[in-house]
Each structure stands twice: as structure tokens, then as C-alpha cells.
Amino acid sequence: MDQHTSGHSHRRGLAAVLPEHDRHGQHPGHGPRAVFIGNPNVGKSSMFNAILGARARVMNAPGTTVLLESGSLAIDGTEWQLIDTPGTYSLLPLSPDEEVAAHAVMGTGGQPAPDVVVTVLDATNISRSLYFLAMVLELGHPTVVALTMDDLARRQDAGIDAVELSDALDGVPVVEVNGRTGQGSAALLDAIALARGGTPLPHELKRADLQVVDAAAWVEEGADRRFDWAARILSTLNMQARQRVTASDRIDRVLLHPVLGIVVFLAVMYAMFQATTSLAGPAQDWIDGTVRDWCTVGIDTVFSWFGAGALDGWFHSLAVSGVLDGVITIATFIPPMGIMFILLSLLEDSGYLARAAFVMDRAMRLMGLDGRAFLPIIIGFGCNLPALAATRTLPDSRQRVLVGMLVPFSSCTARLSVYIVLAYAFFREQAGLVVFLMYVCSVVLILLVGILLRAVKFTDLRSEPFAMSLPPYQVPRLVTLCTSVLKRLWDFVKGASGIIISMVIVMWLLQAIPATAAAGSFAHVDDVQDSVYGRVADGVAPVFTPAGFDDWHASAALMTGFVAKEVVVASMAQSYSIDTGDEDEQQQGEGSLGAAMRASFDESSGGHGKAAAIAFLVFTLAYTPCLATVAELRRQFSMRIVLQSVGLGLLVGYLLAVIAFQALRWVL
């Protein structure tokens, strides 16, 4: 068999199940099409990628469309188009993702009919898989059954023989495939090539004529027939005799317990939160300190080759304060992203992620979401960037968009430094309470904004019955996990680097251009207030008059915070020309920086500095997330969603800041 992967591509929405066109409007290939379909968590996407030679999982990108994985493969000299669809429990869809899967396999909705359907069955949950298979078989397309997780089923003394199952299905070809290792892939491809000539329809099933009856009526009317057929197959395989209490069942008694399950889940979330902050912190500091110093020395060395004057030129400033800052900004996000990708893969591959979704389902129903949405929101309190990556675990594209727009309202640890400095500067005795209340405010804000978005933008998002399979527990494969994590990291770097570096250079340019003749020369502005950046901050400051911080120092810090929230305090110190040295956040708030901020806020607020400080904190919590988060929003969603998310954050932050100041100035 000739097996070769080529033309591997990602395509969005329903276009992903349509033939591609080249620039002249012709199809690049007229080969047969094999559509892969199955329930969620059956190992379908892992198997699909193993066949194509790609180890990364297929992820459905959030947005108004659904991302499918497609690829071309030569089988016995014929170029096949392989299409992987989102997991679905029925051909009667409840979400946009399931609708795409249904159209792709049914050949409806204007989509071409598949030449072969590969239906993936989970050997550890064969009863549910058989009912789904019955629906696919009744479509009448040539069908091949890929039997996954049979190795796990055999450990439970419930293994299924592929030949025996094929006989029970009246000759429908069945191939055992290990999605994690790719074992059995070659036999599956051989079966796909042979099945193109047609496969039998089990005699108890009835072929559907979707030209006469609609899909909903067909699914509902034939339900009893399919259940009876599935029961007969189970009886033939004598599955009842193999049923017993498994290790997974015993573990689930704890993890799915209404009380213990929540305790375990919160412990897991705490561990993930600590991992993305405590473990990633030293690596980020090393990159931002040591690596930056190494790179700066290297750049200085190269420029010194062109004479001493080159080190003072604007091009050197651009290289160090522009390009290098952008690269370092990207690099500092790699540790938390890598840790989060590893943890997500471990939770997903081990089978725990499905249990966590079940435990938290009831709480998330308030926003029309299911339990899986809780994970990225919690991760967002560590860092918004990996939280957006965690939205990929959600099965529905509309849910992913909603959660993606809520993640920036999770108060990440980068904002914590701002909270601490201002809390100690204005509320020294109650600083801890102020910081705690900011996190409470974040939680309340997520709930209120979620309910608002559901009522205004996501009106079609309904709370459907939560049905999902609980896959058996298994040990993730190290090679697959590492390969997947590295690919995800590379996708992030490739997708976000252009935006981040470009915006950092723009910020450098604004600070490098003198606003007046006496301010200095290009890239040598003596006072940042005399640069274009400072003048822009001056121009923006009056907008915050109703919020009490009509001050260019504050607006300049907020502008810099768009790049990274970590530098808001440093920007404040720079604008006041204060060297904070090695002072921690508490010392900065209680020291000269805090005194300068109190003076500025008291002046801009008319003597209500504490109220203005609270307004500033609230605005910092809600307004535009950092540039890396914006870049990830753009990479996963679309520019339209990015603009809506950024606009929503600015609007909510501004309104809350104004309300907070106007209300608290009478009290504080």
C-alpha cells in the first residue's frame, strides 16, 4: 500500500467539507472522500492524526464557524481526501459543531456525499457506540468501522474481537486501531480503499431516504429499531457476561461524588493555578532578566563593530527597546503556556477532564454553559493566555466564543502587582482586604457579563441536556504528549509573534519621537512626557475625569498596560522619574512611588484620591487584556471577535470606574 501525506490543511467552517479550489477555480483533486465520524472521546482525532502523520490533536477553533482537520493521502495509488469531523452523539445536531458533522456524513445542507464513512466505535462503551453506528449505516454510504480502545477493554475482560463484530454486523468491515500508537492504521486504510465498492447494510436496519423524509423525523422514527438492533448485537457478542465493576467505576465513586468530587476538582484547579504562576514565574524571570541581558550584550557587540556611535543611534534603540522587547515578551509567555498545555493534555488524556465537566455542570448553567467552561475561567486567574488555550476543550464553537470573551475578565496575576501597590499606597491598613475584594469583583463581573452576553449576543445559546461519555482512565503517552505540546507552542508563537512585535515597536516609536524641538532628538527624548507617547497620554487623560484620575501618569501607565499588565507599575515609576530599585510591591506602595501617586490622584480627583484609586483598580481589572491575550484571541477567533472583546472590556471598565468614583467619593 502506498501511503503518503500531502496537502495537509486547516479550513474553517462548512468550507472544510467542500472541495478546495485553486486560483483558476478548479478542484485541486477529484479523489474519493473519506469522512471520519464518531462520539466525543473515542480517540477519533488522535487516530486521524496518526494516519496522516501529524501528532497534534484536532481542535475545533472557536468562532462563528467550525474548524475541521483535512488532509490528502495516497492509498494504493489513489489520492484520497480525508475529513475529520467534530464529535457528536447523534445525527440530529444540537450545536453548530454537530451540525457540521451531520452535514458532512449525510451529504445534506449542500455538502457532497462521502465515498466512505469511517465510524469510530469505543470498545469500552460499545452499547452507546452501536446505536450511533446504526444511524450511520442507515445512510447507505460505504462504511468502515474503526474499533478503538480495545486494549483498555481487554484489561477489563471486555475486549471485542474485530472479526466477531464484523460477522455480527453482517459483514460490515471492522478494523481494530490504537489511536495513540497508530497501530492498525495501515489495515484501516486498506479497508477504506476496499469499501469504496460498497459495504452491506445489516438486514434489521432500514436505509434512509432523506430526499423524502427530513433528518429529524428519520432519527426519531427509527429509534426503537436501532435500539433493538444494538441489543441484538450486544447479545451476539455476549457483552452482558463481561460486565463487572472496573477500576474506573471505583475511582468515579469519589471523583463524581457531589461533595468529594468538588473538593478534588478545586484541589486540581488550585494545583494548575499554582503551576502556571509559581512554576512558570522563575522561568519567566530568567527569560526577562538573564536572557534579555545576554541578547542585549550580543546586540551591543554587533553594533560596536560599526563604531562607538552606532550604540547611541536610533537603530540600536529600535533593536533593543523595540524588536528585542517584543521577542522577550513572547518568550516570557512560553513557560506558562507550555505548563498549561502539558496539564491540559494530562487531564484530557487521563480521562479526568470529562469528570471535572460533570462535577461543575450545574454551576455553569447560569450562563448557558456546561461544566467544561469552568476550567478556562479558573485558569484565567493565573494567566489569561493559557486560559484561552483551554477553551479548546469546549465542544461547541458558540460556547468557546462566549468563554473566550469572558476570560479577559478573570483577574490574572499580572494585575496583582497593580492591586498591591495601589492598595498599600492608599489603604495601608486594609490593603489585604482591598486586594481580596478585587478578586471578588472579578468573579461577580464574569457572572454579570456572561449573563449579559448570553441575553444580547448569544441568544441562540441554549442550556441543552448535558450528555457526554466518561472515558476510561489511562496513562497518557509521553511522546504523543510532548509532540502535541511543542506543536501547540509553535502555533502560538507563529500566530501571535507578528502582532506582539509590531505593537511593541509602535510603542517604542511613540516614545522615540519628540513632540517638541526642545524635547530632544529621535530615540533620545529626555522626558517621556515630551514624546508623542506622553502627549497622547495627555490627550487621553481628560477622558478619565469622571473616574477621578485625569492624570497623564495614569493614562500613560494604562497605555503601556495594553502591552503587558506587569509593566503598569514600572511605567508609573518611569513617568514620575522614580527609581524603585529592588523594592517589592508593598515597599513601592508605601514608599516614594506611593507618595507620588497619592499626590497625583488627590489633585486629579479634587481631594478624593482613595475613590480615584479604587476607580483605577476597577478599570485595570476590566479593560483591554494584555497584547499577547489579544493576539491569541485573534489567532483563535477572528478580528471581529477581538474588536468586540476589546470594546466590551473598555466600555465595562470605564463605566464601572466612573460609577465607583462617583459613588465612593462621598464615602472615602
State the binding site. Answer: 38-45, 49-50, 53, 84-87
In the chain, the N- to C-terminal Cα span, in Å, equals 78
SS (H, E, C) 551-602: CHHHHHHHHHHCCCHHHHHHHHHHHCCCCCCCCCHHHHHHCHHHHHHHHHHH
Backbone dihedral angles phi then psi of residue 94, each to the nearest 5 degrees: -115, -5
Spatial separation of the C-alpha atoms in residues 237 and 129, rounded to whole Å: 14
Residues annotated in a binding site for GTP: 38-45, 84-87
Residues annotated in a binding site for Mg(2+): 49-50, 53
| Of the candidates 536, 662, 665, the residue with the CA atom closest to the CA atom of residue 602 | 665
| Of the candidates 548, 504, 564, 554, the residue with the CA atom closest to the CA atom of residue 534 | 554
Burial class for 167, CB neighbours closer than 10 Å (0-12, 13-18, 19+): middle
DSSP 267-327: HHHHHHHHIIIIIHHHHHHHIIIIIHHHHHHHHHHHHHTT-GGGGGSHHHHIIIIIIIHHH
Residue 136 makes CB contacts below 8 A (sequence gap 6+) with 37, 91, 105, 117, 119, 143
Side chain identity, residue 241? A
CB 361, CB 392: distance < 8 Å: no
Side chain identity, residue 218? W
Neighbours of 160 (CB within 10 A): 22
Spatial separation of the C-alpha atoms in residues 202 and 579, rounded to whole Å: 80
| Of the candidates 162, 167, 132, 5, the residue with the CA atom closest to the CA atom of residue 75 | 5
Alpha helices in 66-184 (DSSP H): 96-106, 126-138, 150-155, 162-168
Residue 483 makes CB contacts below 8 A (sequence gap 6+) with 55, 56
